[in-house]
Amino acid sequence: QVQLAESGGGLVHAGGSLRLSCAASGITFKDYAMAWFRQAPGKEREFVAGISAGGGVRSIADSLKGRVSISRDYVKSTTDLQMNKLKLEDTAVYYCAARPVTISKSVEEYVGWGQGTQVTVSS
């Protein structure tokens, strides 16, 4: 009964920034790696960023390095995705996901998913 809830999506102009948040419940937060994926229309869901259960390891998709960072708060049980210098191609539904301990870039490895939050980047 993993429950994840994303927030912070919206419409932003190209070059702008956005911070997404994921609130987790139904799990022992400190025992789960957390990740963000995104899915654009007509495309498969793709890995954006992940952070290990202990917070000691972070992984960012190669195409997003330098523009994206991920962090977690063990008091609030939240995981944030900071996105900067947004581009039109960043437009997608962004999903939060959880799995035990370690980061994976594979959708199939995650045991819990949020409902998604829409990010739209305009020209």
What is the spatial distance between Cα 95 and Cα 97, in angstroms, rounded to a whole number? Answer: 7
Tokens of 44: 């498969």
Confidence of residue 1 (pLDDT cuts 50, 70, 90): confident
Q: What is the mean pLDDT of residues 75-94?
A: 98
3-state SS class at 88: helix
Q: What pLDDT, on a 0 to 100 scale, did the predictor assign at position 44?
A: 97
pLDDT band at residue 68 under the 50/70/90 scheme = very high
CB 47 within 8 A of CB 56: no
Q: Which secondary-structure segment (H or E) carries 53?
A: none
DSSP, collapsed to helix, strand or coil, labels residue 8 as coil
Mean pLDDT of the chain: 98
Amino acid 70: pLDDT: 98
How does pLDDT run across 29-39, given as a tens digit for each residue?
999 999 999 99
**Residue 102, C-beta contacts closer than 8 angstroms, at least 6 positions apart:** 33, 52, 53, 57
13: pLDDT strictly greater than 90: yes
